[in-house]
Amino acid sequence: MARRQVKKKKKPLIVICSEGGKKSSEYFYFRNYSSRNLRIQFSTGNSTDPKGMLEDLLKYLDNEDIKSEDNFKIFLILDTDLDEHRIEEIKKIESECIKNNIEIITSSPTFEIWYIMHYRNNKLTFKTSKDVKKELQSLYSQYTESVNMYKIIKNSTDNARKTAYLLEKQIIKNNEDLLRANPHTNIYKVLEAIDEFNKEKYQ
């Protein structure tokens, strides 16, 4: 007789690298999407520049032995800060990211523009990241980076997804450089990956 077994798929995993790791707004937002059947992990590291963050992420993936073939997604979430030097740096690491199966997610000027998109779909252009956060505080007075904004805005996420997607579509249609487009965010792509994993059954 031979050992009988039913083949199973490993449970899915999303790894996110964002500036500030477990102290970043991205962490306090995306941890709400983690579940028994879908782990969302944040890589560790102190770098704030795109190249350094990618190095930290690759080191983390190696340490955690995340190189399995199936069922994972890795995102490097970066703010452009509307900074030309930073945008150039992001462009420089693109090919290394593709090679390592890492998807770059960018926001202009900053991740918090994603929160603003939950409130409206116009007047989204800001001059600095600070202005975005200031505006967010006027929309939700208790806002800080560590506040659980997910709870406050979750009912409007479909609207934000639509706004972000349409903005991106328009930028591409206009043949504009996405990284230099203000505003933009493709954070919605992380949610698409979460939706995709949650559709699967892991029993």
Partner 1 sequence: MLIEFSVKNFLSFKDKVTLSMEKGIGNENLENTITNSITDLLKTAAIYGANASGKSNILKAFTCAILMIRNSNLISIDGKWDFIKPFLFDENSKNKPSEFEFIFIANNIKYRYFFSADASRIYDETLDAYYSQKPTNIFTRTKTNIYEFSNDKNKLEPLAATNTENKLFLSTATTWNYDKTKDAFLWFLTTIDTYTSFNKISDKDLIDYSNNDKELKKFALKLLKESDILIKDIFVDYYEEKKVDRTMKDILTSSLLGINEKDKNINVNIELEHEVIDENNNTHTYKLNFNDESSGTKVLFALAPFLKRSFEKTKVIVVDELERSLHPTLVEFIIKLFNNEKINKVNSQLIFTTHATNLLNLEIFRRDQIWFTEKNPNNGISRLYPLDSFSIRKDENIQKGYINGRYGAVPFINDVDLWLEDK
Verify binding: residue 1, partner 1, rule CB under 8 A: yes
Region of 175 (left: φ > 0; alpha: ψ -120 to 50; beta: rest) is left
Verify binding: residue 154, partner 1, rule CB under 8 A: no
| CB 15 to partner 1: min, Å | 9
Stretch that binds partner 1, among 57-65, 118-126, 132-140, 164-172 (CB under 8 A): 57-65
d(CA 198, CA 196): 6
Stretch that binds partner 1, among 33-41, 50-58, 128-136, 152-160 (CB under 8 A): 33-41
What tokens appear for 174 in the block? 């206009």
Q: Please report the DSSP string for 43-103 in residue order.
A: ------SHHHHHHHHHHHHHHTT---SSSEEEEEEEE-TT-HHHHHHHHHHHHHHHHTTEE
Burial class from Cβ neighbours inside 10 Å (0-12, 13-18, 19+) for residue 69 reads exposed
Query: What one-character DSSP code corresponds to residue 12?
Result: P
Verify binding: residue 155, partner 1, rule CB under 8 A: no
Residue 144: CB atoms within 10 A of its CB come to 11
Helices and strands (H, E) in the chain, number of each type? 8, 5
Q: Which of residues 59, 64, 98, 172 is near partner 1 by CB under 8 A?
A: 64
Q: Which of residues 10, 59, 91, 127 is near partner 1 by CB under 8 A?
A: 10
| CB 18 to partner 1: min, Å | 16
Verify binding: residue 199, partner 1, rule CB under 8 A: no
Stretch that binds partner 1, among 3-11, 123-131, 154-162, 180-188 (CB under 8 A): 3-11
Verify binding: residue 59, partner 1, rule CB under 8 A: no
Q: Which of residues 101, 144, 148, 198 is near partner 1 by CB under 8 A?
A: 148
Verify binding: residue 6, partner 1, rule CB under 8 A: yes
d(CA 52, CA 26): 18
Verify binding: residue 145, partner 1, rule CB under 8 A: no
Backbone angles phi and psi of 67, in degrees to 5 = -140, 20
Q: Which of residues 33, 66, 145, 157 is near partner 1 by CB under 8 A?
A: 66
Contacts with partner 1, residue ranges (CB under 8 A): 1-11, 13, 31, 34-36, 39, 41, 63-66, 68-70, 148, 151, 202-203
